[in-house]
Structure 1
């Protein structure tokens, strides 16, 4: 078509590895029209990001590419490096999933945006600064004239993503490639970023290639959808048509992959396992010599009761104090107030005093790849806690406990001699759960354990957590910004905002009849039960 902006024609991408050739993309073809939003969806490893990165000619040297990638009729695979440097930023821009790894932590955000303007538009000095302030204002950064001199770590996750959008739009590109731009954001910020992208798309008339594994977003955001699986394009079509009448079983599985089921509330007569009263956490921001130090109240006077066998869900925006509350309960942070575990006052215990309790209190973190040592085999990772807390066990006994833990999380024990990088994201999260389970704990703090996973993988991890809770009588504190996951797993919910609990109660009651405006806003932003 003469008006086609981007055309991917029979694209194949192979990676030449020491162990052999890996085919990441296999004969994929699709096109994108000016002003259109096309979503590429599929599970991790389906080839979505590789396809988009190929369009920017940013694949590593070990990649071998064939086919054609035409931008306004020009084949980018045959363009010179100099020509590609002109196209990138000017005509095609890209924003990535994690802005903290894309922004240079050593430079102020204004300088990083200025680099794009100087390279492609020749703007310097006062002209560049005026344009940067205008861009930051367009993407909704408050007080842009002051924020221009901030470092990335001084901004929230949503603000950092807005800076990345400002940088991508600095030269008013015709095509914006957005690779999982909202995955790491809470639901309200996610909704704001999507609304911002739509507004900017209308203002600049640009096309968007949107890559995601969240079909809830796609339904509301994209004009057309391409579904990828194992490097192949298996189905495509207008968004409404694809959601209403999917032809492929895999597409139907993705659409139906929402957390289902509800947890039966525990008997109110069950004994209390955890109890906190007037819990407070304060961080010192700046220490001053002759003036009072500046403090930030992260958790403000929270009362909490968790009974045995219960799952308490904590929801709220980033910065609301969810993770801080969980870490304070486990005495991983200094706090004020009363904390009782199984009847014992643990608020005043030091590191040595808490050590005998650590095997009963375990944590599963958001990013298993970051919390699993890449230099240790899976068996070594899981058995490490046994060496610390059960030093009398011999090698054979430890091995038996590791095998039992892997079987609990439905992983083949024969894989225990492999390393974490050899597993998928869902498998790594199962390994992290096995590492916690091997100590036979009574309580698990689950801090965003499914947020980085594909929707279909989330479902299997949620089912696993339910089964383990029933089998071992576990008690969970489940922290998440994904309300559909919390609804499926928790029997009680706390809604946090600015370090305080604004609403709490039985899960179904909170979801069916939220009393607070803030809770209703979270529900609305999450597209809960969108059909």
Structure 2
């Protein structure tokens, strides 16, 4: 048998902190053969990214590594810093999870890719430019001659990820470490990135270590899979065998956490809670002389009816207008067309006239860490809305409502004295839901509330939302690019593209028998079986 390209032997990573030693990786062993794709999966905190960062020798000084990391038999834990600099980029390279934080916002992308070539191959000038253009073309960046001079903020999320791939492949490494390379991307862009990696793998004959928490991607991309939990490797083997016959309880839990189930449709004669006719949202892009302006129409004439107790799912790619429509429905954005809440026409309501309705129309945003004030305790965050909308409540009454709201989302009320950074992602999302529920609303706008969560945490949030809806007859508009979650929660679905609804109907009809080519493409990219 040939020698593996990469061998991890009893790898341990400990962090020496003032409060004590934290063991992040506990004796992990696996290997990757030449040209092979191995997936490393597990939830947040399982040690996946620490393992990959250890391979690159990019851990902070407080980290202590033991065990062996052999690349072609050479132990990377023993080589000098200068030797590691030569190996990085040349022999192995890494695609990081968030390209916007990995790319320098002050430098054009062409310069950033050329820097890799200059440092590792001594290539510069016109020769480097020619190679950069070739790489941009290989990773599917349109109009490379124009885009070579773009800054990262001028590119879409998928294009920035392609630039990261171009940088990683600039020196044709034999091993590519892809750390959650598709997590924040739409399903169609995810599929494109995976196809791109697969094609480039064949072209260069490289091996890939694919790190992710999305098991649906692993099933179709990796030949072998290693499952991590709490820093330990709990199961490994051929992907098909692990998925079809998991041996460890944790692996079975991860597989069972895939969103499933469906929501029963509300009665056709259920009262209409919220409706919009010919809703349009325009953003001014450039002001011209004599009062004329150029504008971009993000939402283009949408009709929408939401009945009490209903969940309307809105799906589409980034830039399709999903979130803009949601904010327009709540009068958080100026829009044209007619909007009604119950029997009240709110089309022309300003902030002061909307305020009495705000307690009944709440929103849960995508990123709870960004929407929760880091300077307030959880109790203060949840009670803030009560002070605004129910000033007649005294401190003890507000405290009782906060405790009740935390219990509703299955959080210990004793935690209300803590700050947001002391909670996990799933707990922070529960806090965001509690903040909305404390006002006892009729309507919740849920804007990508599960996109950044592990599948198991997603499942608990989905079950929580189902329970709360049944208990209080809540009405949801659920915005997401995760079609599996939309399928599990919604009874009606709108599919948006470029500001317009291209298809709408019951969730069952949309997912079982989509009519439009765009909807079919979304379902195919999400690996959803329309016959299921």
TM-score of the aligned structures, taking structure 1 as reference length: 0.97
Counterpart position of 1:432: 432
For 1:178 and 1:21, the matched residues in 2 are separated by 28
Write out per-residue CA displacement over residues 324-371 of structure 1, whole angstroms, 9 at most, x where no aligned residue: 110111111121111111221222122222222221111111111222
8 Å CA contact 2:491–2:507 kept in 1: the answer is yes
Counterpart position of 1:476: 476
Matched, 1:175 2:198: no
Counterpart position of 2:228: 228
Write out per-residue CA displacement over residues 8-30 of structure 1, whole angstroms, 9 at most, x where no aligned residue: 11111112223322211101111
SS in 1 for 2:77: helix
Cα gap change, 1:125 to 1:347, in 2 (>3 Å):
farther
Q: Which moved more, 1:511-520 or 1:126-135?
A: 126-135
Q: How much does 1:392 deviate?
A: 2.6
For 1:20 and 1:421, the matched residues in 2 are separated by 20
Which aligned pairs between 1:288-437 and structure 2 lie closer than 5 A?
288-289=288-289, 293-437=293-437
Q: How much does 1:390 deviate?
A: 2.0
TM-score of the aligned structures, taking structure 2 as reference length: 0.97
Counterpart position of 1:253: 253
For 2:188 and 2:524, the matched residues in 1 are separated by 8
For 1:148 and 1:190, the matched residues in 2 are separated by 23
For 2:382 and 2:79, the matched residues in 1 are separated by 49
Counterpart position of 1:79: 79
For 1:290 and 1:129, the matched residues in 2 are separated by 44
Q: Which moved more, 1:444-453 or 1:344-353?
A: 344-353
For 1:106 and 1:388, the matched residues in 2 are separated by 42
RMSD across aligned C-alpha pairs, in angstroms? 1.5
For 2:381 and 2:105, the matched residues in 1 are separated by 31
For 2:291 and 2:56, the matched residues in 1 are separated by 52
Q: How much does 1:375 deviate?
A: 2.3
Cα gap change, 1:114 to 1:293, in 2 (>3 Å):
farther
Counterpart position of 1:120: 120
Counterpart position of 1:263: 263
Which aligned pairs between 1:144-293 and structure 2 lie closer than 5 A?
144-289=144-289, 293=293
Cα gap change, 1:17 to 1:389, in 2 (>3 Å):
farther
Write out per-residue CA displacement over residues 415-464 of structure 1, whole angstroms, 9 at most, x where no aligned residue: 11122222221111111111111111111111111111111111111010
Counterpart position of 2:444: 444
Cα gap change, 1:301 to 1:111, in 2 (>3 Å):
same
Cα gap change, 1:287 to 1:89, in 2 (>3 Å):
farther
For 1:511 and 1:377, the matched residues in 2 are separated by 42
Matched, 1:92 2:97: no
Write out per-residue CA displacement over residues 215-269 of structure 1, whole angstroms, 9 at most, x where no aligned residue: 1110100010000011100110011111111111111111121112211111111
Q: How much does 1:529 deviate?
A: 4.2
For 1:76 and 1:292, the matched residues in 2 are separated by 63
For 2:84 and 2:292, the matched residues in 1 are separated by 54
Q: Which moved more, 1:49-58 or 1:342-351?
A: 342-351
Which consecutive residues of structure 2, in runs of 5 or more, have no partner in the other structure?
none
Counterpart position of 1:141: 141
SS in 2 for 1:90: coil
Counterpart position of 1:524: 524
SS in 2 for 1:301: strand
Which consecutive residues of structure 1, in runs of 5 or more, have no partner in the other structure?
none
For 1:417 and 1:301, the matched residues in 2 are separated by 46
For 1:385 and 1:89, the matched residues in 2 are separated by 51
Q: How much does 1:137 deviate?
A: 0.7
Write out per-residue CA displacement over residues 13-60 of structure 1, whole angstroms, 9 at most, x where no aligned residue: 112223322211101111111111000011111111110011011112
Q: How much does 1:61 deviate?
A: 2.1
Q: How much does 1:289 deviate?
A: 4.1
SS in 1 for 2:89: helix
For 1:61 and 1:338, the matched residues in 2 are separated by 59
SS in 2 for 1:89: coil
8 Å CA contact 2:114–2:132 kept in 1: the answer is yes
Q: Which moved more, 1:331-340 or 1:1-10?
A: 1-10
For 1:92 and 1:133, the matched residues in 2 are separated by 22
Q: How much does 1:294 deviate?
A: 3.0
